[in-house]
Structure 1
Amino acid sequence: MIYTTTEIIPGREIESVLGVVTGSVVQSKHVGRDIMAGLKSIVGGELKGYTEMLMEARAVATERLIAEADKFGADAIVGVRYTTSSVTDAASEIMVFGTAVKLK
């Protein structure tokens, strides 16, 4: 499956728009990561545990996006965007959305 943040796919023509597709995951914080993040915030620097957690969450959300596009019979997803939101103090949602299309 081709997925891109652009509205077009170079060298390909969009035959039809099938609809908006989404994928999301709500990821909770890990107590161990919170403790390490608290310690790291004292000296500064990247919070690698959170970086890894968010990378994993984006991958899961993207897999769900592609699965939904497959249900539409899509060849590609254009205009892909990622967003995050806080669900609770201990959890965040990663959402990805785009437009499923059929290519010529």
Structure 2
Amino acid sequence: MIISTTSEIPGYEIAQVIDVVVGNTVHSKHMGRDFMAGLKGMVGGEIKGYTEMMSEAREEAQTRMLAKAKKVGADAIVSVRFASSSVGSEMSEILAYGTAVKLK
């Protein structure tokens, strides 16, 4: 399956727009990450535990989006975007979305 952040895929023609496909996941922080984040907040710098958590969440959201595209018979997903938001004070949501298409 081809995934693209652009609205076109070089060398292919979009034959049919199927639907918008979405994948999301919500991850929560845990005490170990919160403790380390608090320490890091005092001295500055990257909080690697949170970076890893958000990377894992992004991969999961993309995997779920891909599964939905396969289910509707898509050959590709174009105009892919990612968004994040807070869900309460302890959780973050990652959303992956794009347009499922058939290619010629």
Return the TM-score normalized by structure 1.
0.98
Amino acid at match of 1:35: F
Task: Name the Cα RMSD after superposition.
Answer: 0.5
Task: Output the CA distance in 2 between the equivalents of 1:38 and 1:31.
Answer: 10
Task: Output the CA distance in 2 between the equivalents of 1:29 and 1:66.
Answer: 26
Task: Output the CA distance in 1 between the equivalents of 2:29 and 2:66.
Answer: 25
Matched, 1:18 2:8: no
Shift of residue 100 of structure 1? Answer: 0.0
- Provide structure 2 residue ranges, at least 5 long, that are not aligned to the other structure: none
- 2:56 alignment partner in structure 1: 56
Describe the SS at the equivalent of 2:62: helix
Amino acid at match of 1:58: R
Q: After superposition, what is the alpha-carbon deviation per residue over 1:54-87, rounded to whole angstroms, capped at 9, x for unaligned? A: 0000000000000000011000000000001111
- Provide structure 1 residue ranges, at least 5 long, that are not aligned to the other structure: none
Question: What is the correspondence of 1:18-57 to structure 2 with a 5 Å cutoff?
Answer: 18-57=18-57
Matched, 1:75 2:92: no
Return the TM-score normalized by structure 2.
0.98
Describe the SS at the equivalent of 2:57: helix
Amino acid at match of 1:9: I
Describe the SS at the equivalent of 1:68: helix
Shift of residue 30 of structure 1? Answer: 1.2
Count of residues paired in the alignment: 104
- 1:98 alignment partner in structure 2: 98
Runs (4+) of structure 1 exceeding 3 A deviation are none
